[in-house]
Structure 1
Amino acid sequence: MPYEPLNISTPVPVLSWANHELGYEELKMAKNVAALPFVFKHVALMPDVHLGKGALVGSVIATKDTIIPAAVGVDIGCGMAAVKTPYSADQLEGKLKKIRSDLEAMIPVGFNENKDVDKTAGNWQGWSSFKDLHKGVQDLKSKAMKQMGSLGGGNHFIEVCVDTENQVWLMLHSGSRNIGNVLAQCHINSAKELAKMTNTYLPDPDLAYFVAQSPAFAAYWHDLQWAQNYARYNRDVMMARFKKIVEKHLAGGKPMKPLLEVNCHHNYAEKEVHFGEEVYVTRKGAVRAQSEDYGIIPGSMGAKSYIVKGKGNAHSYCSCSHGAGRLMSRNKAKNQFSLDDLLAQTQGVECRKDRGILDEIPGAYKPIEQVMENQADLVEIVATLKQVVCVKG
């Protein structure tokens, strides 16, 4: 489905790839962003768009000489990693419980961290510049080092998947953990304080921003890039452990040669050129989909996921959705669905089956097939996956 301009009066248009009308609060959030004087050209909303903080999750915002910390969000660099293995689905028979057990033993989830700093994590070159980060995180280095190689909670997950050709894939979703969250909060608060000091009018306090060339902008941009790199490397560390576990069970420990590897952010900002101008592009719950870019669009646990290749659609700022997108809040999902619903909707998946993850039930998310149909002009599907093991925090 091609985009449709929202029927709202704003200084720049809002183009939507969602096939549904936005609710009052969602429209208000879209209007607030599109009303900012530095927003470039238009705002793009992906098919999985839903309420966020300050800006909609599933929005792509290009800005001239400014950056909005809350639009990037608190899980800086959150994203996906996937590996296509040389193994076939029949090799998994009888081994799913053991693989899940090893994953839960080897990769900390939720608020947990590694007991010791992983050797690979300790060698990350980003530690050398930790002292240059915001003063609000200077006592968190030890925690950040131990959390490198950990999953987190919420909608973060580790999955063994099988594609339509019975090939086994490894997939995981995680971000910059506590260190990214604290860095983001420090800079969001600084932006809000700056707006108050300068009497800057904002339609929403969460849209407080920094102006390029200012010390505050430079500090945030430095920390943002650091956290994005931390998040990417965090996924690399976990994926290395994931590979070893699967190699142990499917190949007697013999190292495998991946057939395809993808690692992409979906909560981040970068400087890019669009419509002939250099702008700062914030993807809040969106994946870069330049021509030939590989991306990952997961469904909910129990639903399909997709490996895609970008088509470089200029109107979306070369972007696509980052998942199915929530249909309802976590509290509403817990109130509306039962444990029996969870069991039915995750049938055939080796995963937790308890009330602790009821808010992640597939029914709480939009149908991924419809989301994919709505962005046929943004990406082409390379592989369609279905999970057989899912680990959550």
Structure 2
Amino acid sequence: MGNKLSGKDLIKLGFPKNNSINIALGQINRYRKREKKESILTEAKEVLLHPEKFEGHGTWGKVAEGLVNPVQVRMHQLKTTRAPFTIFGENEIDQQAKFQLYDSLKLPISVAGALMPDAHSGYGLPIGGVLATDNAVIPYGVGVDIGCRMSLSIFDLPASHFKGKEHQLQAILKDNTKFGMNETHATKADHEVFYKSEFQDIPLLKNLLPKAYKQLGSSGGGNHFVEFGIAKIDNPENEWKLGVGEYFAVLSHSGSRGLGANIAKHYTYLATKQCPLPKNVQHLAWLDLNTHDGQEYWLAMNLAGEYAKACHDDIHRRIAKAIGKRVVVTIENHHNFAWKEMVNGQECIVHRKGATPAAEGQLGIIPGSMTAPGYIVKGKGNAESLNSASHGAGRLFSRAKCKATFTQSEIKKVLKANDVTLIGGNIDEAPMAYKDITKVMGNQTDLVEVLGTFTPKIVRMDR
């Protein structure tokens, strides 16, 4: 008996000569190739005899599904009509972003859609795109940085806390934040998220656990940041019992790091194999939630969301400890995620790719740019936006266009004019790269109520 397991070995066991053999070989090669052939064949025999016992199993669940109820792979055609949709701030949105939404609305699984006023084109769904689907999840409708989110901590400190402490606060940011591919904290923190069963039950996640542990409390590159600023509370009727006034605060923006990126890559690949689509919409391939892979992605996506929150919690914990003061209010929300929500009386999967949940009474923070204020908001629960709002100002210039248009000296002038200190940062994240946040907010008065603002003062980004 050779060491490498083959399709012939599975046929000898009694596997039917169909796609279940390819699925089994794929799963074994991906997750079990270092194990002895004899022990794998023993398990495979058990799966063949009792597939129902292996439903949801990390390695064998997909094989069992292939034996009992094989996934039908067929080319899906787009519908000729679009699902209902609403665009907010249409005049400020590029045509490509609109066309991407229109294409997504023709998917046979689409129920409804919306485009937020900060929208611009992306991969799959546009950034700022919201799409409700019937029992199916689109990995690229969620995005690569699963669970990317905002987190604002307001301290029981006046805004005047900045005076005379600029160098000390810069040092706190440098010492307590890590960015990009390689920076991690020397002293690692533990977190309850690492003990979730998904990290043991799903082989892909088990392999990613060491990376996730290492990267906890760090932020990605690009537009991710941690910044000190001034939170201004305008509404005396706020739920935090904070008086109207200005407070010292910290705002962070980042997601699920390498964990989320690897989950997105893996399940996007599976979706494109199981759900062939016309070339112009192949990024919108979906996973049926009644399938093994669909259920597994859903679990993995939710875990990545919890991990993203854990990263923010760790960042804010480290900073609060360094400042030596108590956080009195935390406002946070995901914007690259999918939720099970009711849409027109039907339970749907609502994808928000760069869009903030804004159900009635739901709190959120919508940032501007490093020189423009962000807004503390409360959702109005607008059904036409699928209970959503923008996740920021949105890009006016692509990264490539920024590099061709702006210079470091121009950026320094804008930062100085706005009394903002920047640590790190690249030309592609120039403040001028973003839309006017006041216009964006003006285009979503039906979606959110403004409770206050956050103005950045010291910004830390990747170099």
Q: Same fold (TM over 0.5)?
A: yes
Aligned counterpart for 2:114 among listed residues 34, 44, 47: 44
Tell me the CA shift for residue 86 of structure 1: 1.3
Alignment of 1:171 with 2:251, yes or no, is: yes
CA 1:126 to 1:324, structure 2 compared with 1: closer, same or farther past 3 Å? farther
Tell me the CA shift for residue 11 of structure 1: 2.2
Tell me the CA shift for residue 335 of structure 1: 1.0
Question: What is the alpha-carbon distance in structure 2 between the residues aligned to residue 49 and residue 390 of structure 1?
Answer: 24
2:62 is aligned to none
Structure 2 residues without counterparts, runs of 5 or longer: 1-79, 233-244
2:353 is aligned to 284
SS at match of 1:85: strand
1:161-218 CA-to-partner distances (Å, cap 9, x unmatched) read 113432112110110001110111000011011124xxx5564110101112111111
1:54 is aligned to 124
Question: What is the alpha-carbon distance in structure 2 between the residues aligned to residue 188 and residue 22 of structure 1?
Answer: 27
Is contact 2:335-2:357 (8 Å) kept? yes
Alignment of 1:350 with 2:427, yes or no, is: no
| Bigger-Rg structure (1/2) | 2
How many corresponding residue pairs? 369
1:152-167 superposed matches below 5 A: 152-164=220-232, 165-167=245-247
Is contact 2:93-2:118 (8 Å) kept? no
Question: What is the alpha-carbon distance in structure 2 between the residues aligned to residue 57 and residue 133 of structure 1?
Answer: 29
Alignment of 1:143 with 2:223, yes or no, is: no
SS at match of 2:381: coil
> What TM-score, normalized to structure 2?
0.76
Question: What is the alpha-carbon distance in structure 1 between the residues aligned to residue 86 and residue 461 of structure 2?
Answer: 34
Is contact 1:49-1:325 (8 Å) kept? yes
Is contact 1:163-1:384 (8 Å) kept? yes
Alignment of 1:383 with 2:460, yes or no, is: no
Amino acid in the other structure paired with 1:33: S
Question: What is the alpha-carbon distance in structure 2 between the residues aligned to residue 52 and residue 104 of structure 1?
Answer: 31
1:1-393 superposed matches below 5 A: 10-20=81-91, 22-40=93-111, 42-116=112-186, 118-121=188-191, 123-135=192-204, 137-164=205-232, 165-196=245-276, 200-201=277-278, 203-247=280-324, 255-258=325-328, 260-347=329-416, 348-352=419-423, 357-393=426-462
> What TM-score, normalized to structure 1?
0.89
Tell me the CA shift for residue 240 of structure 1: 0.7
Tell me the CA shift for residue 30 of structure 1: 1.7
Tell me the CA shift for residue 287 of structure 1: 0.8
Question: What is the alpha-carbon distance in structure 2 between the residues aligned to residue 148 and residue 174 of structure 1?
Answer: 11
CA 1:378 to 1:21, structure 2 compared with 1: closer, same or farther past 3 Å? closer
Give the % identical residues. 36
Question: What is the alpha-carbon distance in structure 2 between the residues aligned to residue 282 and residue 132 of structure 1?
Answer: 25
Is contact 1:126-1:230 (8 Å) kept? no
Question: What is the alpha-carbon distance in structure 1 between the residues aligned to residue 206 and residue 360 of structure 2?
Answer: 40
Structure 1 residues without counterparts, runs of 5 or longer: 1-8, 248-254
Is contact 2:395-2:433 (8 Å) kept? yes
CA 1:102 to 1:362, structure 2 compared with 1: closer, same or farther past 3 Å? same
Determine which structure has greater relative contact order: mean sequence separation of CA pairs < 8 Å that are 6+ residues apart, divided by chain length: 1
Amino acid in the other structure paired with 1:61: L
Amino acid in the other structure paired with 2:139: P
Shifted more, 155-164 versus 21-30: the winner is 21-30
Question: What is the alpha-carbon distance in structure 1 between the residues aligned to residue 409 and residue 97 of structure 2?
Answer: 32
Question: What is the alpha-carbon distance in structure 2 between the residues aligned to residue 142 and residue 282 of structure 1?
Answer: 29
SS at match of 1:351: strand
SS at match of 1:100: helix
SS at match of 1:166: strand
Across the aligned residues of Structure 1 and Structure 2, the Cα RMSD in angstroms comes to: 1.8
Is contact 1:134-1:223 (8 Å) kept? no
Is contact 1:10-1:31 (8 Å) kept? no
